[in-house]
Structure 1
């Protein structure tokens, strides 16, 4: 669909001018020389406080939407189970729990509802807050340092309030009793329920750490993998524990129903233990330099062709980093500028003002950058420009590469020299 860029106005009404606001909306204040916020009334707030507020608001709304649609779909599944069961056994429960009848269709429907709701809402809120919606996930990201502890505490409160709000709205909006509480079923003991919740949450959290916390080319698709992780966890857990994996999810329903089972604590301790387990394994594989065990999985075809792996000498993740692939001038080969992969060869060298300097093993990430004014033989440089550092050119990914590209297939970095046809 062909649409214009959204206006910076808070609300674009029909009688307003079609011109986008400039200085009045997002212009520069002539006194402070700072960019004005879209909402001037909050301009007095320090950026850190404003960002905390944004994350709290985003987590509240995101958690509400995630659980609202999941709870509503669970109500539908339980209503269908009650209608199919003449006696209503296992569908309408006195404590408001999820249907514990061994009905595969009902359990599948509930698992799909939670998985798809998380995938959609995590994708929507990914750029705003990261799309956590879960105190256990928040704990894990705080433990690895991806989320500051102060912000983690603030969004923890937002997640609890969002879960309570979602439970209350579903209870009041849809007919019939609220049957979404998490309880033990199928003869599951308290200890079994605790460890079921722990291992299921560990899967979900580890998925988040590897797909979202670890940045790679597929990070933008992380919400799909996270939603699928919750889906398969719910398939295994709904019948036995209600499939909580989220303390806010269980607590919010308990507040609205006014009923907490004596073992409610397992829905806090289990997910938190699962988060700690996932973080421990994540740190273990990071310490062991997991990137060297199966390198090249994130490369495109050109990067794969340029990649040469020497397992005996590749000891760190930097040694198997993505190779530099640049668009070259027709008259200048990759070898002339040493932009090809070093390939973990002991004889790999890069140019310098004093001759050849041995480069580290691996794929160029740790190679010695030539001095600013050094130019390889056969290349020319103007007097007022500097040589681009060899391996730093495209390390920031496709966006940085696209920004540096100039018409005609050449590249230029501010202050960089002209090396033959490479800019």
Structure 2
């Protein structure tokens, strides 16, 4: 019995059971990501260091946490840990609406659990909430979160949802994308790009900062923007723009540049000889009568590459 046939005969109850199982494991994965990632943020916040050093510490902690957690759960749930990624995958029909709803709930709950464990295990002050910098208004915050979320969404869609030779290594690219976005936005908005990441610590601490809605609206718009860019790339048949880019056959590599240069020189010399010969010889017909193949091989005129 084929796997496809087995999937086709699943009942709604069977699918719901699988969705609930996946959501429960997504809860565990999200809690792991939040605990590891924000644990590094908490450790960095109570350590001495310059602003640049702390920024690098926070970005590295969150980027590596996503890379590791996503790789651990990649073959189990997809390793999303983010309602905004779940929304994007639902819009492109990678996951069903039911799984999207269950995933979003489990991701928000997992973020709360991870943030609660972190608060219980580490000393005060608890410095892992995201908030807008004093020189950033709410509109700027929304658009910053939108663009960095769109970058993360596009990384997931192009590296994980799109199937190619590098797909098994998608968590590396996704983690590095988060790292880069953290470097850009962490000093402006905290670089949440994930409503669950913002919601978990805020719920534990009683929402101490105003403007929390920014971390719902911005990432939501980022999901839509990332999906729109992905849809444009798919509709444009992006794989035809630079074909063979993911090929692994060495024979499809560029030719030896030295051999290519020599071949170019040889062809140039042959072309020059033919042109000069046409001026000095009375006619090609004389040679054609005296030589095999009408003289075409000697003068290079029977070469299909010419």
Calculate the TM-score normalised by the size of structure 2.
0.77
Contact 1:171–1:177 (8 Å) recurs in 2: no
Match of residue 261, structure 1, among 187, 198, 209: 209
The equivalent residue for 1:51 is: 18
Deviation (angstroms), 1:64: 0.3
The equivalent residue for 1:71 is: 38
1:195-214 to structure 2, matched below 5 A, reads 195-214=143-162
Structure-2 change in CA distance of 1:152 and 1:298 (3 Å): same
Contact 1:184–1:193 (8 Å) recurs in 2: yes
Q: Give the Cα separation in 2 of the matches to 1:270 and 1:160.
A: 16
- The list of structure 1 runs, each at least 4 consecutive aligned residues, that deviate by more than 6 angstroms after superposition, is none
Match of residue 181, structure 1, among 129, 135, 139: 129
Contact 1:202–1:278 (8 Å) recurs in 2: yes
Deviation (angstroms), 1:71: 1.2
Contact 1:205–1:278 (8 Å) recurs in 2: yes
2:21 paired with 1:105: no
Number of residues paired by the alignment? Answer: 244
Deviation (angstroms), 1:152: 0.4
SS in structure 2 at match of 1:240: coil
Q: Which has the higher contact order (CA 8 A, sep 6+)?
A: 2
Q: Give the Cα separation in 1 of the matches to 2:173 and 2:205.
A: 32
The equivalent residue for 1:385 is: none
2:214 paired with 1:247: no
Question: Runs of 5+ in structure 2 lacking a partner?
Answer: 1-5, 7-11, 254-306
SS in structure 2 at match of 1:141: helix
The equivalent residue for 1:122 is: 70
Match of residue 176, structure 2, among 228, 231, 237: 228
Question: Runs of 5+ in structure 1 lacking a partner?
Answer: 1-33, 35-44, 85-101, 306-423
Deviations 1:167-225 (A, max 9, x none): 11111111112110001115111111111100011111101100000000100000000
Q: Give the Cα separation in 2 of the matches to 1:147 and 1:273.
A: 19
Q: Give the Cα separation in 2 of the matches to 1:303 and 1:146.
A: 34
Calculate the TM-score normalised by the size of structure 1.
0.56
Deviation (angstroms), 1:46: 4.5
